[in-house]
Amino acid sequence: MTRNDLKQLLDQLGLRGDHVVVHASLSSFGDVEGGATAVCSALLEAVGGGGTVMMPAFTYAETWPGAAAGKALTRPTAFHADLPVSREIGAIAEAFRRLPGVLRSSHPTHSFAAWGRHAREVLSTQRDNNPLGPLKKLNIMQGQVLLLGASLQSVTALHVAEERFGVPYLNRGIAVRVNAAGYDERVVLENLPGCSAAFIKLEEQLDPAKVKSVALGRGAARKIPVRYLMQLASAQLDRDPRFFVCERPDCASCESKRAALAAADPSTPAPTPKTP
């Protein structure tokens, strides 16, 4: 796939001037001349300077889980602006982080990278106790989720619906960040989102009229309004607060979710995971 192919593909989604949060899989494009950097460059050209492009730049593998409860755990890597994005977030997110003009927030586990008209404004909303601030701002701006070969399982914005609904299972943790003086400092984090595997269940709820989609070499590119996804997620949580608990028996995050939900409402225990 050439740069011109990428441009034509992205132009079909009508991205000009949009404010988008992007979740992308490089392999879904097939063979791309220039790799992840070419995809990012084509994306910025498609959106244009009047829009905003944001991607997760998470380093949550460096979280210090449970340390807030006094457990003695191995010291994690200190976050700094040039710390590579966690591998599972993808090559496109890492390439985007490195592009000239791209800004990055300083949250030690759930930072975002952004470019464009409102990049600084969007990133400025994030705090250590408000990791989802940039996504909340994007929702207010009537932004879009752009899935490039990724599924709804990747859509971090759906955690905003969990927070607004008041689910009892958002996490607390401790991480390390390099401060302005160049020293490591320990940081207490609040409202950390957990497993997102169950977000995939919203796929069957999607209204095709709300989704712009074009085919990729090995998947699809889809543009979906953030606000629409919030509405879908909120409706499901209103029916069942356990909706976003996955069924994998080995998921420690969802095991904690079940315990928190059971403690919040002992009369309605969370479902047990399915065995393989």
Q: Determine phi and psi for 8, rounding to 5 degrees.
A: -60, -40
Query: Which class for 190: exposed (0-12), middle (13-18), buried (19 or more C-beta within 10 A)?
Result: middle
pLDDT tens track for 130-140: 999 999 999 99
* pLDDT of 62 over the 50 cut: no
Per-residue pLDDT at 229: 98
Indicate whether 124 belongs to any domain: yes
Please, where are the H alpha helices in the chain? 3-11, 35-47, 91-98, 119-123, 133-140, 158-165, 226-239, 252-264
What gap in Å lies between CA 217 and CA 220, rounded to an integer?
8
Indicate whether 273 belongs to any domain: no
End-to-end CA distance of the chain: 39
* pLDDT of 57 over the 50 cut: yes
Mean of pLDDT over the chain: 91
What gap in Å lies between CA 180 and CA 134, rounded to an integer?
22
**What residues make up the domain containing 177?**
3-264
pLDDT tens track for 245-258: 999 999 999 999 99
What gap in Å lies between CA 43 and CA 25, rounded to an integer?
13
Per-residue pLDDT at 66: 47
Q: What average pLDDT does this structure show over 59-69? A: 52
Q: How many separate domains does the chain show? A: 1
What gap in Å lies between CA 9 and CA 13, rounded to an integer?
7
Strand segments, DSSP code E, in 126-205 are 144-148, 171-178, 184-192
Among candidates 35, 51, 28, which has minimal Cα distance to 2? 35
* pLDDT of 203 over the 60 cut: yes
* pLDDT of 81 over the 70 cut: yes
Q: What average pLDDT does this structure show over 101-119? A: 97
Indicate whether 276 belongs to any domain: no
Q: What average pLDDT does this structure show over 183-196? A: 94
Indicate whether 75 belongs to any domain: yes
| Residue 26 exposure: Cα atoms within 13 Å on the Cβ side | 20
Per-residue pLDDT at 61: 53
Indicate whether 186 belongs to any domain: yes
Q: What average pLDDT does this structure show over 31-50? A: 96
Indicate whether 153 belongs to any domain: yes
* pLDDT of 271 over the 70 cut: no
Indicate whether 275 belongs to any domain: no
DSSP letters, 204-237, are: GG--GGG-EEEEETTEEEEEEEHHHHHHHHHHHH
The CA-atom distances, in angstroms, between 261 and each of 40, 129, 241, 242, 244 are 40, 21, 8, 7, 11
Indicate whether 15 belongs to any domain: yes
pLDDT tens track for 165-176: 999 999 898 899
Q: What average pLDDT does this structure show over 227-244? A: 96
Q: What average pLDDT does this structure show over 84-113? A: 96
Helices (H) and strands (E) in the chain, counts: 8, 10
Q: Is the pTM of this model over 0.75?
A: yes
Place of tokens 């990791």: 131
What gap in Å lies between CA 20 and CA 229, rounded to an integer?
13
Q: Are 239 and 261 in contact (CB under 8 A)?
A: no
